[in-house]
Amino acid sequence: MLVTFLEYLLNYFYTLSNNYGISIILLSIGVNILLLPIFFILERLQVNEHNRQEKMAKDLSIIENVSNKNEKFFYTREIYKRHNYKTYYSLVGTLGLLVQIPFFLAAYWLLKDYPSFEGVSFGI
């Protein structure tokens, strides 16, 4: 379905520019514009995660010199509980890439054997 949508956009941009090279560039820009609201939300989540880690950094630096690994683990877990932090919050930074992967794959599947590209130059 995503491949069909990208193909529709590619054909639309081709009718505007009459050049496949420019159409591919416009397709990339168009997809980024469509994903912009999602990227803003993900950026806010990353800022929140960074702020949460900054608040915990002072407490975590105190236990840095604890040599007993079990004791250090339990102290760290208590600090996480105190700040209401879950370990999977650190994965928030990868969400931007995870949103883009389906579009990368769809663009690849669309462009790899696109029949109209044969014998056509990319440039103007």
What pLDDT score does 23 carry? 92
Distances (CA, A) of 8 to 15, 36, 61: 11, 20, 54
pLDDT higher than 70, residue 124: no
Report pTM: 0.72
What pLDDT score does 56 carry? 87
- CA 78 – CA 40 distance, rounded (Å): 32
Tens digits of residue pLDDT in 27-75: 999 999 999 999 999 999 999 888 888 888 888 888 888 888 888 899 8
CA 116 distance to own-chain centroid: 30
Tens digits of residue pLDDT in 65-96: 888 888 889 988 988 898 888 888 788 888 88
